[in-house]
Amino acid sequence: MISTVNQKSNKNQNLAMVIIGDRCIGCDACYVACKTDWDVPALKESYRTKVWEVEGEDNLGRPTISFLPVLCNHCQNAPCVTVCPTGASFQREEDGIVLVNSDMCIGCKACMIACPYDARYYDEQKKSVDKCTFCLPRLNNGLDPACVATCVGGSRNFGDISDSESSVSKLLENATSISRLKEDEGTLPNVYYITVND
């Protein structure tokens, strides 16, 4: 699966999450798995991932709902990294993961402002801004990210999209639709939303 970061041979991974919209049932398992694994503070506004319930209407005025799981998009062009004054927010060249080194953060929160996805929160215990790490520590242990591992509907999928043989590449290849959030922002997100049904 995902090998350790120390192995230089894996330098050109492009890690991404592929979320199958038709499979999300809005159970919020991901939210809890993530919070417990990373000791995310016990606050409603502290989370690394969550699921929005999107209410709408169809052409006939009948209600519709859908679910939108959100997390850090690990943007290729990450505005949070650009604005960070100390380099605490940074992006790994080898796989594209965007991280916050809590020992370098001064808590100016410019990154929280810059992120178009509201993916970051301030962690009072760490005295640092914090965020989704794509579960890098778990990846180094050969595990899937916590939210992916627990995803009841099999909506969340994770892997290297630069490897055309990976399961996520296959998903993208066979999807009936592919989108990313707020592409207009030019952030080049690495979280893909696909559907598999028409």
Partner 1 sequence: MQNAVGFVRPKHNNIWLILSCFIVLVGLYGVVQVFLHGQEESYGITREVPWGLLIIGYSFFVGITLGTAVVGALAHVFKIDSFNIMSKKLALVSVSSLIAGFFIIYWDLAGPYDLQVLRLVVYFAEFKITSPIWWLVVLYASELPLLAFEVYFLLSQKENSAFYASLIGTSLSIVAYGTMALVFDANSSRPLWHTSSFALFFIISAIAGGFGVVLVMIFLNNVTQKYKKSIIVLSKTLFFLLTFMLVIDFWNVVINSYSSDVLLGATMRLFIGKGVLAYNFYFYEIILGIILPMFLLLVGRFKSSVLAFISGILTIVGLFFSRYDAVIGGQLLSRPSESMKFVLHNYSVSASEISIFVGSIGVLFFVYFLGAKFFNLEESTL
Partner 2 sequence: MSRHNITRRGFLKLAGATSIAGVTGVTGFPSPLHASMSESEKSSMFLKYDRGVLSPSFCEMCFWNCGVDVYTREGKIHKLEGNKFNPNNNGHLCAKGNSGIESTYDADRVQFPLIRTGKRGEGKFKKVSWDEAYQYIFDKLEPLIKEYGAQTLATFMHGTGEPHVHTLTKALGSPNIVVPAYSQCLGSRDMAWMFTFGTTPSGHEPFDMANSKHIILFGRNMAGAVQVREAEDFAQGIANGAKLTYIDPRLSESGVNATDWLQINPGTDLALALAFIHVILRDGLENIEFVSKYCYGYDKLVEHIKQYTPEWASKKCGIDAKTIERIAWSFAKDAPHVVAIPARRMTRYGNDVQTVRAIAIINALMGNWGVPGGIWVRSKVPVKLPEYEEPKQPSARRADGVGDGEAYPFAPPNLGRTNGMYEATLKQKPYPIKAWLVYDTNPIYHSSSGVNNILKAIKNLDIIIAIDTQFSDTVMYADVVLPESTYLERYDNPHIQSDKIPFIALREPAIKPIYDTKGCYDICKGIAQKFNIQRWFEHPPKDKINDLYGSLEADKAKELRQNGVVRFEDVDPYPIASGAEPKFNTSSKKIQLYVSDLEDMYQKNGDDFSPMPIYKDPPLPKDGEFRLLIGKTPRHTQARTQNNWILLELQDDSPVWMHPDDAKRLGFVDNQMVYIINSVTKVKSKYPEKLKVTNRIKSGNIFIHHGFGHRTKAWTRGYEKGTGDNFFVSEGVDPISGAAAFNNGFVKIVKALK
Residues that bind partner 1 (CB under 8 A): 41, 43, 45-46, 52, 54, 56, 68, 70, 79, 82-88, 104-110, 112-118, 120-122, 124, 127-128, 181-182, 184-186
Give the DSSP H or E segment for 17.
Answer: strand 15-20
Q: Which helix (H) or strand (E) holds 35?
A: helix 29-37
Which of residues 29, 75, 129, 191 is near partner 2 by CB under 8 A? Answer: 29
Of the pair 2, 71, the CB lying nearest partner 1 is at 71
3-state DSSP assignment of residue 34: helix
Tell me which of partner 1, partner 2, none is bound by residue 62, counting a contact when its beta carbon lies within the kind-specific cut-off of 5 to 8 angstroms.
partner 2
What angle (nearest 5°) sits at the alpha carbon of residue 132, between those of residues 129 and 138? 125
Longest Cα–Cα distance in the chain: 56
Q: In this complex, which beta carbon is closest to partner 1, that of residue 113 or of residue 178?
A: 113
**Tokens linked to 192:** 């893909």
Does 36 contact partner 2 by CB under 8 A? yes
Is residue 91 within 8 Å of residue 77, measured between CB atoms? no
β-strand 177-179 against 191-195: which pairing, if any?
Answer: antiparallel
Shorter beta-carbon distance to partner 2: residue 86 or 183? 86
| Chain residues that interact with partner 2, rule: CB under 8 A | 4-6, 20, 22-29, 31-33, 35-37, 42-44, 47, 53, 55, 57, 61-67, 87, 90, 92-94, 99, 101-104, 133, 136-138, 140-141, 143, 146, 149-155, 196-197
